[in-house]
Amino acid sequence: MPRLRISISKDEPLRFLGHLDFLRTMERALRRSRLPLAYSEGFNPHMKVSYDTALAVGMTADPFYMDIELVTALAPADVRAQLVPQLPTGIRLTALAAIDDAAPKLMAFSNYETFCLFGPATGPLDGAAVAQAWEQRTTVPLRKVTRKQEKVIDARPLVPEPLVVTTDGAYIRVEAGILRTERTGLKPAELWQLLVRDFALPAREDECLIHRTGTYRREADGRLVAPLEDV
């Protein structure tokens, strides 16, 4: 069946919408569009759609990727014309393209995300000093506690590229890329907390807004491939 990869945004009006509600909102828009969507068989058929990594409550994103399957092929321009009028405030369609049936699913494709973290400053900031202090550390232990276990991970290799830390005087902005591995992961909010606790970032640990700016496959040589580059 024809597959389409769609890039959409989750904008400020939907920042505090839960991820499942965000997906339901998008699926309702797809149904209203009257596109020839493919459904699974069986007693409870469901739309053949898959997504990239989940967005936490309070996180916005541009882009957010999703794959849909159609019963019959349509030109991307026709898909756009039918879908865009059905999108609610807070969701924008930014790109789409046909993809091969053998293309890996989004969750299997991506292992690297870029973020912008921002929050109110509680004092003067030397952004270069914070970024340099992070860069000079070979290990950064992070204690992670869940209902099932407690463990300590090394957060440093999960942020392979230099941080960019800036301020306009009132707010601090941290730009960072986070690598996801099969064994562990680092949440952007956890990175913010580490910078506040251990690297003298003048901010409060629990006052951080997050915007995801990219989803990629990071190759061994550091090259980043976006989901729509590979199609």
> Region 97-113: what's the mean pLDDT?
88
Encode pLDDT of 49-86 as tens digits: 999 999 999 999 999 999 999 999 999 999 999 999 99
Residue 231 has pLDDT above 70, yes or no: no
In whole numbers, what is the pLDDT of the chain averaged over residues?
Answer: 93
Can you give the pLDDT at residue 161?
A: 96
C-alpha dihedral sign at 93, 119, 186, 164: positive
- CATH number for the domain formed by residue range(s) 3-107: 3.30.70.580
Overall average pLDDT of the 39-52 stretch: 89
Single out the residue of 178, 176, 174 nearest to residue 201, CA to CA: 174
Query: What's the token pair of residue 77?
Result: 């321009």
Q: Minimal CA–CA distance to 103: which of 137, 156, 63, 67?
A: 67
The Cα–Cα gap between 195 and 125 comes to 12
What pLDDT score does 148 carry?
77
Sequence ranges of the domains in the chain? 3-107, 110-225
pLDDT at 230 (0 to 100): 62
pLDDT of residue 37 exceeding 90? yes
The pairing of beta strand 3-10 with beta strand 59-69: antiparallel
